[in-house]
Structure 1
Amino acid sequence: MATQAQQETQYRELTTTPVIRSGTWNTTRRTLQPLITEGTHAITRRLTGKNRRPDRAGSLIKPDVSAVPNFGGASTTPGVAPGTLINVAPLRVLGTRSELNPASSHRFEYVTRDPNGRAITATAGVCFSQTSAPGHRPGAPRPVVAFAPSTQGVAAHCDPSHTCAIGLSVFTDAPRDAIAAYELPVLNWFLANGVDVVFIDYPRDPLTGLQYYCDSITAAKSLYDALRAAHHLGISPEAPLGLWGFSQGGGAIGWAAQLTDYAPEIHPRAAVVGAPTSDLPAILRAVDGGLITGVIAYAVAGLATTRPELYDEILPTLNSHGLTEILRNISTCAGGTLLTSGYESTSSWTTAGQPLGTILNNLPAVLREFNRQKLGATAPDIPVLLWGSTNDDVIPINQVRELRDAWTNLGADITWHEHPLPRVPGKTALNHFGPYFHNLSTHSGWLWDQLHSNQS
């Protein structure tokens, strides 16, 4: 029989009985109908020449209904405190312009810190729902979700606060590419539930413009800094706050849950951590040779940008083809990487003829960085719904289970969900993304329950 201390450190299984929450079908309709209508309208206008397609520099060739404010690239801001608001402009998020799911939105620029502690600018979005939140008390602050997005691509035109106004756009000229704002249904789902949302674009190196991909610690801190800045735009510091992230975003939210003392004035009440990036070498091995091999190029570029010693270790391992593949991938969005490097083995990228995951794991400075980014050394001090998929072909389930056990053994309040989607052959990433959208209502419902039950 388990002792009381052992029982107190056990995780809970998420109840996933097929019960439809009241209003779910109506919320789904209000989420998807305007998004499909407005997204189709935007595509049609581009195809008929009424609007120009977005360019690849984070702005548009000429203003149109998808216009996105452009603050320029990241820059250093010596002496400016993290969380300082620098710029703000209105943003038209697809799916939020009708009476079905109305919301007002802004893109903003704020100050955060890079992996080496320099103050830099970064961008984010904030959306204010105009829908009544279930269970929301009149006069009380509206609930807020701080949203760390999944991988959209590391080029500037792939940033979520840019693509949320575009939806889908295809580039047929070289390099072939596709903007696909695939997490818009998630963002709009939150808004349709009456929840305000703050979401980030991951920070970039001011010199190269490259995203600090793989650095979940920096991403977590930037999310808190974005929340600090959003307090000046109308997000209430007293609002019930939940954290949400999947995949790359899951890694960021996992670290945000471990680093609540980074911003002691911000008090998240719960977090949903989906398929988090924690054991980076295992992820590199899992995706190599699959449809999304190109994300390995994101990882290599992000690591090399983080610190000079990482660059010095990584660069000599790449052959000319590998360098070309990395440069091609980092100029495209996630959709473009499928065309650039889909189903290619990174063994052809290296001078040793070995997969990059194997080589990187044997480089001392890189291995130290991998270990630094691994979750589980400290316990979150807020309730966490941690979930993964049994046959995930991007984030292996074993590392998510290991994180569950590590957090539980440290006394964290963990609710666990493992989605049993059968294996889809072909390393297509369907076992990764499918459960995310399938469980959206269930996982967000857990978060709403936490926010409401913890209201004072």
Structure 2
Amino acid sequence: MARIHRTGVNRTAARTALSLGHAVVSGGLRRVMGRQRPPTRARDYPRWETEPGFGDATWVIGQKPGTLLKSSPMRLLGTEGSLNPATAHRIEYVTTDARGHTITATGAYFHSHSRWRGGSRPVVAFAPSTQGVAKHCDPSYSCTVGASVFRTRPVDIIAAYELPVTNLLLAAGCHVVITDYPRDPDLQLQLYCDHTSGAHSLIDAVRASHVLGLPQEAPVGMWGFSQGGGTVAQALEDPTYAPDMRVKAAVVGAPPARLEEVLRHVDGSLVTGVLAYATAGLMVTSPEIHEEIFSVLTPEGITKLLNYLATCAGGSVLASGWQSSATWTRNGATLGSLLEDLPAVSKEFEARHLGRAKPSAPVLLWGSTNDDVVPIGIVRDLNRRWRRLGGDVTWREDRTPHLPGRTGFNHFGPYYRRLADDVGWLLDQLRR
């Protein structure tokens, strides 16, 4: 195998680096990208040094997607006792992004030792919701932490808020595979809400886990909420990427089926920082998109962008909560409303739309009437599209009363409220 850093191939990332470097104080980009590890001392957080050290994402030549490159045992919170025994490995593997580039990605494989009541023991391909795009926010790392506050400027918070879901699945006897989502190898920026790239990395994480003891014949279930919901939805719409993978059922919650509408919806809310994640992920997609976005940003907007990229979701909430992105743009329009008017960005948004093909397996699709992150209209529309295409869709709309304040509780609250029921639905499907 050959791994290469293709400095002459991805001109998009190079141009992004150049422009950002001119727009902020000298070395600003280097400082941000250098903070990809938790900004804390070892004695403040000793477990960090016990975790496997994986390198940055790189380009790969000569290896098939799904090839396991490296693995290391890891500690998974909640699985060390007799009630929920499981072994865990962090993994580095080969995958492909939406543009056909072969790159490395990371994730984790959790091998359950609990009894499985049914036929063949299944594996659940788990696509996490947004935890942040910096490397120390990776789900394969945060699940060893649980929660931690980093006393930095700005303050950062790491939180593995989907750890209860993975533990519930493991306790039921399912193996679980998660992805950290792929990154652009030149700038190490996560390809945020790039549904196709995320779907590929999730599928290839399952393939790579076969080397670590995951049976080839294990039936596959899928689980995704929010960002993860978009990933799983895309994987279901394009089964040709892994025709050998037998997906039996999937749970898809609040998927950002129309990303541009999500960005308008969250602008000025407690989770405004999500705009930075999405914007950076768009900027490394093509030279045209990079130039369009950079041309509308103010120096303050670029500085905010860089700051939020260095923090996890909890830290970004503290830094960006309830702020409008109107100060980020030269004409004073909010970024969420402005991006979709840019021709190349609009075309990329269109390419990421969900609902073009029927799901390849039975799916429980749900959304929340009062969701303050992912608007219910785009989830309802996905349900209609899938049904018209002949998909086997179980639809649920959560009508939890609205909580004021645009805090995100109307997004996450229904997820946890119906968690046990949704896991039960998936388990029933996997036992058939």
> What TM-score comes out, normalization by structure 1 length?
0.84
Residue in 2 that maps onto 1:362: 341
Q: Secondary structure at the match of 2:231?
A: helix
Q: Give the counterpart of 1:432 among 394, 401, 411.
A: 411
* Distance in 2 between residues matched to 1:58 and 1:143, nearest whole Å: 34
Residues 218 and 78 of structure 1: CA distance in aligned 2, closer, same or farther (over 3 Å): same
Shift of 1:259: 1.2
Does residue 452 (structure 1) correspond to residue 425 (structure 2)? The answer is no
Alpha-carbon contact 2:107-2:140 (below 8 Å) kept: yes
Q: Give the counterpart of 1:114 among 89, 97, 109.
A: 97
Shift of 1:442: 0.7
* Distance in 2 between residues matched to 1:403 and 1:114, nearest whole Å: 23
- Superposed, 1:138-157 pairs within 5 Å as 141-157=120-136
* Distance in 1 between residues matched to 2:305 and 2:274, nearest whole Å: 9
The residue identity in structure 2 corresponding to 1:297 is A
Deviations, residues 174-223 of structure 1 (Å, cap 9, x unaligned): 13101111111111111111111000001001110110012011100111
Q: Secondary structure at the match of 2:410?
A: helix
Residue in 2 that maps onto 1:385: 364
Shift of 1:136: 2.7
Alpha-carbon contact 2:68-2:92 (below 8 Å) kept: yes
Q: Secondary structure at the match of 1:327?
A: helix
Q: Secondary structure at the match of 2:332?
A: coil
Residue in 2 that maps onto 1:248: 227
Does residue 164 (structure 1) correspond to residue 143 (structure 2)? The answer is yes
Shift of 1:444: 1.1
Alpha-carbon contact 1:58-1:70 (below 8 Å) kept: no
Q: Give the counterpart of 1:57 among 29, 33, 37.
A: 37
Does residue 263 (structure 1) correspond to residue 242 (structure 2)? The answer is yes
The runs of at least 4 consecutive aligned structure 1 residues that moved more than 2 Å come to 58-67
Alpha-carbon contact 2:129-2:227 (below 8 Å) kept: yes
* Distance in 1 between residues matched to 2:361 and 2:238, nearest whole Å: 11
* Distance in 1 between residues matched to 2:60 and 2:284, nearest whole Å: 19
Residue in 2 that maps onto 1:136: 118
* Distance in 1 between residues matched to 2:298 and 2:272, nearest whole Å: 17
* Distance in 1 between residues matched to 2:295 and 2:98, nearest whole Å: 23
Alpha-carbon contact 1:325-1:340 (below 8 Å) kept: no
* Distance in 2 between residues matched to 1:80 and 1:61, nearest whole Å: 35
Q: Secondary structure at the match of 2:61?
A: coil
Q: Taking every aligned residue pair, what percent have the same amino acid on both sides?
A: 52
* Distance in 2 between residues matched to 1:313 and 1:343, nearest whole Å: 26
The residue identity in structure 2 corresponding to 1:149 is P
- Superposed, 1:16-415 pairs within 5 Å as 56-57=36-37, 61=42, 64-65=46-47, 67-133=50-116, 135-137=117-119, 141-415=120-394
Alpha-carbon contact 1:130-1:194 (below 8 Å) kept: yes
Alpha-carbon contact 2:38-2:136 (below 8 Å) kept: yes
* Distance in 1 between residues matched to 2:361 and 2:91, nearest whole Å: 28
Residue in 1 that maps onto 2:15: none
Aligned length: 395
* Distance in 1 between residues matched to 2:114 and 2:47, nearest whole Å: 23
Unmatched tracts of structure 2, length 5 or more = 1-34
Deviations, residues 406-434 of structure 1 (Å, cap 9, x unaligned): 00001111000111111110000101001
Shift of 1:271: 0.8
Q: Secondary structure at the match of 1:272?
A: strand
* Distance in 2 between residues matched to 1:282 and 1:85, nearest whole Å: 37
Shift of 1:358: 1.4
Deviations, residues 254-274 of structure 1 (Å, cap 9, x unaligned): 001111111111111111110
Alpha-carbon contact 2:137-2:158 (below 8 Å) kept: yes
> What TM-score comes out, normalization by structure 2 length?
0.89
Shift of 1:148: 0.3
